[in-house]
Structure 1
Amino acid sequence: MRKFAIGDIHGGLKALKQILERAQITPQDQLIFLGDYVDGWSDSANVVSFLLELKQTHNCIFIRGNHDDLVHKWLKTGDLNENWLKHGGQSSKDAYEKLAPSALEKHKNFYHDLENYYIDKENNLFLHAGFANMHGPQNEYEPYMVYWDRTLWETALALDKNLKPEDLFYPKRFKLFKEIFIGHTPVTRINQTKPVNAANIWNVDTGAAFKGPLSIINIETKEVIQSDPVYQLYPNESGRN
């Protein structure tokens, strides 16, 4: 069995189908999705429908992203968060207006059932954003931290590369897990378009919501397979640009 992590999709269903085909994914592979399935390109609702079907035939783990939580809150309450609308929410709102009413309850259940984090048998951690608690994500006082926190990634980027895990000032959070796989903060912000490794953290968000591609990474070999830049697959849209 191969094991893969997939970065932030943001409504880019065409890109998702590309990477699954290019990686030659089979039902024997495990797919760990790192969240943010929505808010970006026009296929937000279609991404969730596709994932619901994929789960019927494939070994999938779906992590909760901050944008998924925002869409779920809107679907439950109807309340519109203006800040959400400005940062991709309008595309999801438009997409859900086209969704068949019969599918809506399944989508709500999908969002409700998302995992806040996943720890595999090798002690690798998968979550959308990060965690601040020194004892791990399972001890966060506020569960939303795991899909909003950026301090874990910022700390990894700022870490002195000569610092070793046994050193006094090495971040204790990093020592809790063999490797940590995240999304949330596009690596395009540091002028990269492939997953970036800092300390024992891998950031797999390669900016699919903006000008970057969607990425899938083999957990064991670290082979990366990417889609075309997603904006090229949706030439008449602006995404979150």
Structure 2
Amino acid sequence: MRYLVIGDIHGGLMALKQLMERAEVTKKDKLIFLGDYVDGWSESAQVIQYLIELSESINCVFIKGNHDVWCEDWLRENLAHPVWLAHGGKETVESYSSFTEEEKKQHLQFFQAMELFYIDDANRLYVHAGFTSMHGVQREYDIRGFYYDRTLWEMALTMDIRLPKTSEKYPHRLKHYKEIYIGHTPTLHYHKHEPMNAANVWNIDTGAAFTGKLSALDVETKEVFQSDPVTNLYPNELGRN
């Protein structure tokens, strides 16, 4: 069985389908999605429907991202926060125009069932953004860190690559897990178009919401699979640009 971890999709259904084909996903694989399924491109509701159906035949783990929290709130309360609408929420609302109330209810249940984080049998952690507790995710005092934290990634980027994990100077946050897989912060910010590694942290968000590609990584072999740039798949849209 392969463990494939997949970055932020942001409504790009065509990119997701292309990625599944290029990675040659089978029922033997386990897919761990790092969140932010919606907001950006025009097919957010369709992405959720695709993932619901995908999970019926393939072992999937769905981590919740900050954009998913906003969409869940809207589906539950029918109230759209202005900040959300300005950051891709408008396109998400429009994507639901052809969906029935019953289908929206099913999608709400899907969002509500998402995990805040996942730890596999090899002690690899998967979380959308990060966490702040030096004692690990089970001791995180504010769950919003799972959606929004960037300090974990920023800390990993500044570390001396020669520093061994056994060193007293090695950050306690990172020592708890064999590896940590995150999304949330596009690698495009660092002029990188593939997943990035710093210390034992892997960033899989390769900017599919913007001008980048949607990526998947085999956590054992570190083989990378990618879609085309999502802007090429939706040439008449702006995404979150």
The TM-score normalised by the length of structure 1 is 0.98
What CA distance in whole angstroms lies between the structure 2 residues aligned with 1:170 and 1:42?
43
Report the secondary structure of 1:32's partner residue. strand
Q: Distance in 1 between matches of 2:203 and 2:60?
A: 19
Output the CA distance in 1 between the equivalents of 2:164 and 2:28.
37
How far apart are the structure 1 equivalents of 2:227 and 2:187?
16
1:15 aligns with 15
Moved more, 38-47 or 74-83: 74-83
Matched, 1:195 2:209: no
Deviation of 1:227 after TM superposition, in Å, equals: 0.1
- CA shift at 1:220, angstroms? 0.3
**1:47-66 matched pairs, under 5 angstroms:** 47-66=47-66
Structure 2 counterparts to residues 143-182 of structure 1, below 5 A = 143-182=143-182
CA distance in structure 2 between the aligned counterparts of 1:90 and 1:154, rounded to whole angstroms = 30
Contact 2:213–2:228 (CA<8 Å) still a contact in 1?
yes
The amino acid of 1:204's aligned partner reads: I
List alignment gaps of at least 5 residues for structure 2: none
| Distance of 1:143 and 1:99 partners within structure 2 | 31
Unaligned runs of 5+ in 1: none
Aligned pairs for 1:78-97 (under 5 A) are 78-97=78-97
Which residue in the other structure is 1:132 paired with? Answer: 132
Q: Following the alignment from structure 1 to structure 2, what is the Cα–Cα distance between the partners of residues 238 and 96?
A: 18
What is the CA deviation profile of residues 73-94 of structure 1, one whole-angstrom value per residue up to 9, with x for unaligned ones? 1111122211111111111111
Deviation, structure 1 residue 110: 0.4
3-state SS of paired residue (2:75): helix
- Whether contact under 8 Å (2:75, 2:105) holds in the other structure is no
Q: C-alpha deviations, 1:155-178, integer Å up to 9, x for none?
A: 011112232222232211111000
Structure 1 range deviating more: 154-163 or 109-118: 154-163
**Paired amino acid for 1:34:** L
Identity of aligned residues (%): 53
SS at match of 2:156: helix
Aligned length: 241
How far apart are the structure 2 equivalents of 1:88 and 1:154?
25
Q: Is the 8 A contact 2:5 2:31 kept in 1?
A: yes
Secondary structure at 1:57's aligned position in 2? coil
Q: CA deviation at 1:71?
A: 0.5
Check whether the contact 2:214–2:226 (CA below 8 A) recurs between aligned residues: yes
What SS does the corresponding residue of 1:168 show, helix, strand or coil?
coil
Once residues 144 and 214 of structure 1 are traced to their aligned partners in structure 2, the CA distance between those partners, rounded to angstroms, is 24
Q: Which amino acid aligns with 1:113?
A: A
Aligned to 1:27: 27
* 2:37 maps to 1:37: yes
TM-superposition CA deviations, 1:172-221 (whole Å, max 9, x none) = 11110000010000000000010000000000000000000000100100
Per the alignment, residue 3 of structure 2 pairs with: 3
> Considering only aligned residues, what root-mean-square deviation do their CA atoms show, in Å?
0.9
Cα distance in 2 for partners of 1:37, 1:91 equals 13
Matched, 1:186 2:165: no
**2 CA distance for matches of 1:102 and 1:143?**
29
